Structure 1
Amino acid sequence: MTRVAAHVLRRYLLRGQLPTGGCLKRWRDCQHTSAIPLSTKRFHGTQASQETTISEPPSTPPTIPFRKQLKDAAKIRKAEGTKKVAKAENQSLKDWELTVGIEIHAQLNTKRKLFSRAVSTINDAPNTRVALFDVAMPGSMPIFQKATLIPAIRAALALNCEIQKKSKFDRKHYFHWDQPSGYQITQYYEPFAKDGYITLYAHDGIAKEDGEEIKIGIKQIQMEQDTAKTISEPGGIHLLDFNRVGLPLIEIITLPQIHHPSTAAALVRKVQQILDAVDACVLGMESGGLRADVNVSVKRRDVEDGGHEYSGVKNLGQRTEIKNLSSFKSVEDAIIAERDRQIELLESGGVVEGETRGWTINATETKRLRGKEGEVDYRYMPDPDIAPVYIEQDLIDHLQQTLGALPDEEIKLLSTDFGLTVKDAMSLISLNNGGRYEYFRNVVDELLPLSNQDLPTTGRLVGNWVLHEMGGLTHVLADEENPLRMTSDGDCIIKHQDLASLIHLYTTDKITGKSAKRVLQLLFVNALEGKEKSTHEVIEEQGLWFMPLSEEEYEELARSVLDMEVVKQILAGKEGKVKFLLGQMMRSDRDGRVDPRRAEGVLRGVIEGLRE
């Protein structure tokens, strides 16, 4: 067999072409194909081959698109009168107990891959960020990148784990096209973090059956490398992008202590918030930086021994694993579907098999992928090429001290000190990667010395403008992901000094509420057009300073909206009708000169003067 030089394979793997000599030529001639770049290499099914044309037998029925299958199934259910059960009413069953354990894979925020100096990115052109070790080039060796430890330890500390001073890497063997070496490097026997927990509260979205809070144990957190990205196309064709091979991940393994689908989804959401707060994770679930596998089992409530053990927890039903869930909704929906499938199977006399299953968005049931591998199947063994990792206490202490406030602490601070509702507090810390929260604090710090109000009153006022009034501006650029140009540091297209000045002018009656909203809109539009104008400049230019009406003008305006039939109802005791007439007065105010409180007082006086 002709030997292919390493530099030739390197050129091929990095978007080059193979020569036509040696055994590769003979293999190519047998396949009747020509060499193509790796970035467009195709795989059919599970067998790697070059792109070929295969004629289908005449008897093969036409393929029905999956979306059409879903629509047809929905029509059948509707015809049969099947009603979808609301999620809030589908969290617990009388005769069956659900148990869920979750494995969360999160991509670490690092510049390099886990065992090579290739750039850690998933956004560049396919197969352009690949080192020799990433694609298992013979003779290449792993070089552990120490910097990957920093975000990993920060994540583990935020999840209340014990950092292990010594950890080791193992090889998890399996064969698939997305893993060139035939094994994945992970930490099975001696992970770097163990014995943590996460506390979930009612405001996190847990099931009402779990009460006000619930604590879920974390068995361990381990570092491991990611696999290649597979892009599936119709006809069983799969494209591979090796940029993702070797990206540093942490796998967070919870104990099987979750018993309701919405609590499972709340846990994944909370983990994402925590990882983002400590700057450990690159992207969220919606962007592909975080994925979840869920292990689902059911057993009858009146059966003491379920016969199975998982992660040290006994008396469980046979579990199945649902892989690669990529949204919080998918986590909840997939668990409900798999729970119901297992119950239906057991009630009909069947047996639940240990297997790996898949889930498609908007599906109604999980789908079998393969039989469930066990530890023996993976043939775990210590990696002989990677030395143990030692973590000093000084590093742990430093990262603990610089961890900063976690989401639960920030929510408590915002609701107690700043007077916000829990819902608004959660929105602040979750929007714009924490940038909305930083912007809010900047506005409060700017406004507080100008006003005579206390911190809770100022906080509620600023929170309303930052969340709701500024949120209303974004419909102008609804297609943009971040129309306010908000950064994680709190910089915004509307300067926080301008918003603080605007709120101060409004609360001191220098402008009306209607004018204040218009000024905010103009500040936004001017910034989009590259025009830098302060709040005062916009007000001056538009003539929006509050010019109060005289008493005579208020009375004239009040009399102009009077309807004698409505007046009779008001005099008869129907006070609510006053608001109707007041609304008429406000609608006739085109210049923003009417003060609602003053207008209501004058209106009531005019009406009282009509009593006989």
Structure 2
Amino acid sequence: MPRIPTSELSRYLLAGQLSRRGCLRASRICLQPVANFQTRRFASVETQSTSVPPTPLRKQLKEQAKALKASGQKKKKNIDNQTVPGWELTVGIEIHAQLNTVRKLFSPATTSFNDSPNTHVALFDLAIPGSQPLFQPETLIPAVRAALALNCDIQRVSRFDRKHYFHWDQPSGYQITQYYEPFAKDGRIGLLARDGIAAEDGESIAVGIKQVQMEQDTAKTTAQPGEAHWLDFNRVGMPLIEIITLPEIHHPATAAALVRKVQMMLSAVDACVSGMEEGGLRADVNVSVRRVDDTSGKLGTRTEIKNLSSFKAVEDAIIAERDRQIAVLEAGGVVEGETRGWSIGSTETRRLRGKEGEVDYRYMPDPDLGPVVIDPQLVQRLASSSGVSPDVETDQLIEKYGLTAKDAISLLALDGGARVQYYYNVLDALSELGAETDAIVTILAANWCLHELGKLTEVSSDLGMTADGECKVPSRDLAALLHHLCRREITAKVAKELLWAIFRGEVAPGGVTEAIKDNNLWFNELSKAEYEALADRAVEGEDKVLGEFLRFADGKSKAYPRGKLMFLVGKMMRAGPEHRMDPTSAERVMSTRIDDIYLDALGNKQ
């Protein structure tokens, strides 16, 4: 292919004029020329008014699950699908994380996440002829922190290389990365059973990190109707790190657990701007299979699955690709080295293109950038100020606050680590209110911080959680709710309704107690006699249900069938004033009445 003249490239970049010769002939992108480089808006003119907001990930998963169920296909549960008899799976992972910095990697343009498209673009980001890369030293801080969290050796000298390929999201025709001499090598990450690794891996497993390298991101491409695409160059040049693991993972669940653990670790050291679902972290997986009795020692041909955007997608895509490769080999075919894609809710991967290699990318040292020299004193300083690791903090949440491993890890993982800070803020506020923060209170607070706040996001995906652990429900207001609830001054139902009112802004900050007073929501519990009267009404005509309890009469209520007991308690709750009843008290009264009265009466009848 003949070399494209600079004049043509200039018209393409500055005026949106596409050449009709050579490889640009097939392009369908229409570019809008504008005068200001800092506010360029490249878009499809004819489809600009038809843009629709992206569908949230949770909704996509629900819709895909419904479609799969309607088709009659049954999907094997992942927990039972970690191995295939006679075959060994091998997985290596490449994780791309956007660094938490103010500037881009090679230009002074500010970084952005969800700002208006093409409002943070420098000349070099668009590869304007004559512009040069200028390495921003501040991007080293989060990069080194991340590498230290992954137990890597920081290299004193590292260098940048050019990785050549042409695509509309890469204006220069190459990406600047660190291929030959990355800034960090030889790391290791430990995974425990509580992290969600496959049961086949036992209580723990360690996975090697080959290297961590800095590189620039590409533009964001948004597909539009009519085969048009919109390009947002805000993302060009965003500072990334690429974390490359060794091929030491052999189960899909362990691969997903590793990505989840890496995200938690990067968040803990404030290195990554956001998580997978928000788009700040992406994973590519390399998958290969071979027969267990293969004595050659060679791994099978690997395929790469690009741009996985959720932990579930990592596990599902690996399972699907493993099964595809096994089916090909068992049919006598040959697995081709290629790049494949994955869609949320899919049951199989799809071919994208043939697999590129080092020769295809024509890696070469970047002539415009000098070496990066990292002072050991900087490394020591960052290592000493990195804070508590996720594993240590998880242990503290379990041992000091009585949480389950699952709840502890969820608190650490949600909202980039801000949810656990919110939890600490709630506990501090409870202490200020005079509450005893024993295990009962700390576990109750964790349940509300996780589950009740989580229910709010089913209506609004944005809690407005900040890095210092505050959101649309101030921690002091949630603490006040829990304080009244623990003192049995309000019911759980009232507390949940007040939580929604706080979230909607209907209760002024700090006004929880006043809202309870003004609306007369205090819990005025029924007397024991009133509970007993309701219990008597609930068992009327239920001789058949009571008969189920006769078999357990010797063991009294400890051995009663739970479902039958709660059926009668439910009748009590429905018959009485709910705002004056406590389910625990109702259950206790019903159990006592069954022991002392109803079973004797039923036995005499029989």
TM-score tier after normalising by the smaller chain length: 0.7 to 0.9
Q: Which residue of 1 aligns with 2:398?
A: 415
Residue correspondence of structure 1 range 114-513 to structure 2 within 5 A: 114-233=105-224, 237-306=228-297, 315-448=298-431, 453=436, 455-474=438-457, 478=459, 480-482=460-462, 484-513=463-492
Q: Distance in 1 between matches of 2:308 and 2:248?
A: 19
Deviation at 1:425, TM superposition (A): 1.3
**CA deviation vs aligned residue, 1:180-216 (integer Å, no higher than 9, x gap):** 2232211111111111111222232222211222111
Seen in structure 2, the aligned counterparts of structure 1 residues 423 and 122 have a Cα distance that, compared at 3 Å, is closer
Go from structure 1 to structure 2 and tell me whether the alpha carbon gap of 1:557 and 1:390 turns closer, same or farther (over 3 Å shift): same
Deviation at 1:439, TM superposition (A): 1.8
CA distance 1:435–1:240, change in 2 (3 Å):
closer
* In 2, Cα distance between equivalents of 1:346 and 1:422: 40
Once the two structures are superposed, residues 420-460 of structure 1 have per-residue CA deviations (whole angstroms, 9 ceiling, x without a partner) of 11121122222233232112112212324656746433311
Q: Which residue type is aligned with residue 252 of structure 1?
A: I
CA deviation after TM superposition for structure 1 residue 541, in Å: 1.5
Whole-angstrom distance in 2 between the partners of 1:587 and 1:606: 19
Q: Which has the larger Rg?
A: 1
- Cα deviation, 1:32-51, whole Å, max 9, x if unaligned, reads x99852744679xxxxxx99
Measure the CA separation in 2 of the matches of 1:205 and 1:93. 19
Offset at 1:364? 4.0
How far has the Cα of 1:258 moved from its partner?
Answer: 0.8
Contact 1:193/1:221, CA 8 A, preserved across alignment: yes
Q: Shift of the alpha carbon at 1:253?
A: 0.4
Residue by residue over 1:551-596, the C-alpha shift from the partner in whole angstroms, topping out at 9 and shown as x without a partner, is 6555555555552754975995385466555444443442644456
Secondary structure at the aligned position of 1:286 is classed as coil
**What is the DSSP-based 3-state SS (H/G/I as helix, E as strand, rest coil) of the residue aligned with 1:316?**
coil
Shift of 1:597: 6.0
CA distance in 2, matches of 1:450, 1:125: 44
Paired position in structure 1 for 2:50 = none
Letter in 2 for 1:481: S
Which of 527, 530, 541 is the equivalent residue of 2:518? Answer: 541
The residue aligned with 1:60 is none
Q: Does 1:99 align with 2:76?
A: no
The answer to whether 1:587 aligns with 2:574 is: yes
Asked if the contact 2:429/2:479 (under 8 Å) is kept, the reply is yes
Displacement of 1:608 in angstroms is 3.7
Q: Report the secondary structure of 1:253's partner residue.
A: strand
Give the 3-state SS of the residue equivalent to 2:465 in structure 1. coil
**Equivalent position amino acid for 2:391 in 1:** D
Letter in 2 for 1:385: D
Determine if contact 2:490/2:523 at 8 Å carries over to the other structure.
yes
Unaligned runs of at least 5 residues, structure 2: 34-39, 48-63, 602-606
Change (3 A) 1:524 1:454: closer
Q: Any conservation in 2 of the 1:432–1:486 contact (CA below 8 Å)?
A: yes
**1:141-195 per-position Cα deviation (integer Å, ceiling 9, x unaligned):** 1110011111111111111111112111112223333322232211111111111
Q: Give me the whole-angstrom Cα distance separating, in 1, the residues matched to 2:312 and 2:586.
A: 49
1:544–1:591 contact (8 Å) kept in structure 2: no
CA gap of 1:562–1:91, structure 2 versus 1, over 3 A, is closer
* TM-score when normalising by structure 2: 0.80
Cα distance change of structure 1 residues 444 and 318 upon mapping to structure 2, 3 Å threshold: same
Task: Name the CA shift for 1:107/1:205 in 2 (closer, same or farther; >3 Å).
Answer: same
Distance (Å, rounded) in 2 between the aligned partners of 1:245 and 1:134: 6
Q: CA–CA distance in 2 between the matches of 1:115 and 1:296?
A: 33
Partner Cα distance (1:548, 1:196) in 2:
60
Query: Given residue 461 of structure 2, which amino acid in structure 1 is its aligned partner?
Result: E
Inter-partner Cα distance in structure 2 for 1:598 and 1:353 = 66
Q: Distance in 1 between matches of 2:344 and 2:440?
A: 44
Q: Which residue of 2 aligns with 1:57?
A: none
- Cα 1:4/1:531, change in 2 over 3 Å: same
Change (3 A) 1:171 1:419: same
Query: What is the CA deviation profile of residues 203-256 of structure 1, one whole-angstrom value per residue up to 9, with x for unaligned ones?
Result: 322222112221111000000111223334567654433332211111100000
Alignment check: 8 A CA contact 2:282 2:309 kept: yes
SS in structure 2 at match of 1:295: strand
- Deviation string 1:454-501 (CA, Å, 9 cap, x unpaired) is 6433311222332234444555xx1x212x433231213333333333
Whether the aligned pair in 2 keeps the contact of 1:444 and 1:459 (CA below 8 Å) is yes
- The answer on whether the counterparts of 2:146 and 2:269 sit within 8 Å (CA) in structure 1 is yes
